[in-house]
Structure 1
């Protein structure tokens, strides 16, 4: 890790959008799901719950866009990082070694955070940091290769991922989905009919791979299924998401006019969203928990639109002051992620101790608790910002 100040110039819109995604994550959903449970007949609270919790299987809301936003912005940052290293005379080979080291550190940090206080390491690779680490070097190798190589890589990855799922046998009529943790409402939501059954929870090719791969590591008990349906091989189509970010980053660093850059982001976002929706409606369901190619494209399209809006308002029009609270977080996204993973629970406990149990009781208690924890984490990032400490791998 380094505490050196980040090199200038930075893409201000990237810091702000990254900060928005990370702050949204830090809220833990603002407690809206718990509040919605107290108002079962309220369409308003049901709407907020949908967009602050993960989709059960098909589709997705605002909460599901946090990870693709973070991953796509990793790709956006690569051209800026490469340019910064070239300015100080670093060779490509040394930059590649740095990328390999960064990828390894991301995977190691993911394992550390997943393990927590367990008595032995928890070798799981579905964490967003692990997913980025597993695909990062591949995306790095696509930098400066031109859009034909990059689009070609996206097509190959999407086709190969889709083909692997389709070629894997469908579950037989006697399959007991309960053996794979698919019970209750999941039987209705996560077991798909006909051809779409290739993307069922627990019986798809990626789940089958993990029942082999994850049992190669020392475990307290044999791995059978991931309760959320997340799989290690999600990193392969997630490379699509990061490559879209890489392409966007190269455009933003390029010679186009500011208006041309914004229009490219809008057009690319529309193209990805249309292709994702079309695939989702025909041959490849949109399943965030499997990072299907249709999800990678559709979610990537939405994030590109968000980046276009932030770029136009902040970088082109120069309206930066409003984004300062987001920028503070975006410039220390790794610090916030780790702090949230380690200290969100203890911070909530501190709030109850010093502000009183009654403050966080009742129907809206989860909301106040979420705001308290998020506020404390923001203050931590602000403290780092004031001291010009920027933690990065």
Structure 2
């Protein structure tokens, strides 16, 4: 793949990014709350796609973070090709990448520290912190050929698998210590898959060591959701996959239709591989093997099989947007998404910091009739989403694009 040196902004990437960010900012459109209020309804049927899996598995909601991180990787080849055209040196680009990494980690820590906390909460599982921890390495590898990037992806996924396998399986005492804890009901896996249990895996042991070396209000024991700092390592593989996709789309070797078909094909292959790694295998040999899973798909600890499976789904979704915009020319159709995709950091921060405040003010300034009881969860979240979209639209009209 030989990227061309002059590339217009890829509108399909902005549209896809906007779709993902609007999905995130929707807070699930209130569907989970509707399902809880109306058991047995259609809301309960679609709820699983708008909530994170308890541990093992994949839903649409789980694909938000890998999609965003994949697109961060995709944008890097475009960004630095443009910087080279403008004459920026390697050291200038390296300083930009390093400063961006530090700022992203700082923002992630800021968002992890809530108003009720009296001291800084040093947690690095927020998506911004995760991107920041791997971004400088992403920059360095993205400047090399696709062979080096692909080799980096493989080495990361194989090495991270080895890291988990070489951590001892949980003892009976360790399992007893977490028994009954919230979130562990479906997160204790049998047999070999126990290497990827919640709270007893290699990354969890790492966090209990190094996070307690940082100032903490109280000793760190467990992340309630099972998320770990070291997730950034396999997530770096996700970003590097994005860099490969970006380099491929910059290449002039294939037509737009050829590129779209290749994205779809590779995406399907990765989905099949990721699913196969997660399937319980050897069920016909004997009952003792019926719970053996080679490499479970767990988003919360970003298992290598999750990186592969989610990468495949992201490529499939990207191929759809690429076909709609770059081949079908449906630019007006995706305009509402582009408005958000061009300011993705803005909507992420505003949603994280201001969603509750926006919801409160909607109730203050709109008539009570605007919030019928049955539809309340949906209306509240769609109202917040619309306000956030209006802010992004105004910024877009002003040609104000806030970047790190």
Q: TM-score, normalised by structure 2?
A: 0.92
Does the 8 Å contact 2:184/2:198 carry over to 1? no
Q: Name the residue aligned to 1:92.
A: 90
1:181 Cα offset (Å): 8.0
Matched-pair contact (CA < 8 Å) for 1:314–1:320: yes
Question: Which residue number corresponds to residue 378 of structure 1?
Answer: 389
Q: Distance in 2 between matches of 1:307 and 1:385?
A: 23
1:3 aligned residue: none
* Paired residues for 1:1-393 under 5 Å: 9-42=8-41, 44-117=42-115, 118-177=117-176, 179-180=177-178, 183=181, 186-255=183-252, 256-281=254-279, 282-356=293-367, 359-360=370-371, 362-393=373-404
145-154 vs 324-333, which deviates more? 145-154
Alpha-carbon offset, residue 217 of structure 1: 1.2
SS in 1 for 2:234: helix
Aligned residues: 384
Which whole-Å CA distance do the structure 2 matches of 1:348 and 1:119 have between them? 26
Segments of 5+ residues of structure 2 without an aligned counterpart are 1-5, 280-292
**Structure-1 residue corresponding to 2:282:** none
Distance 1:196 1:283 in 2: 7
What is the CA distance between 1:180 and its match in structure 2?
4.6
- Aligned-partner Cα distance in 2 for 1:131–1:307: 22
- Aligned equivalents of 2:37 and 2:381: distance in 1? 17
> Per the alignment, in what secondary structure is the counterpart of residue 68 of structure 1?
helix
Q: How far apart in 2 are the matches of 1:221 and 1:182?
A: 22
Let me know the Cα RMSD of the aligned residues: 1.6
What is the CA–CA distance in structure 1 between the aligned matches of 2:213 and 2:126, rounded to whole Å?
18
Is the CA contact (8 Å cut-off) linking 1:237 and 1:292 kept in structure 2?
A: yes
| 1:9-68 deviations in Å (ceiling 9; x for gaps) | 2100000000000000001011111110122223x2223211111110011211111001
Task: State the alpha-carbon separation in 2 of the partners of residues 350 and 68 from structure 1.
Answer: 32
Mapped contact 1:182–1:202 kept (Cα < 8 A): no
CA distance in structure 2 between the partners assigned to 1:152 and 1:254 by the alignment = 20
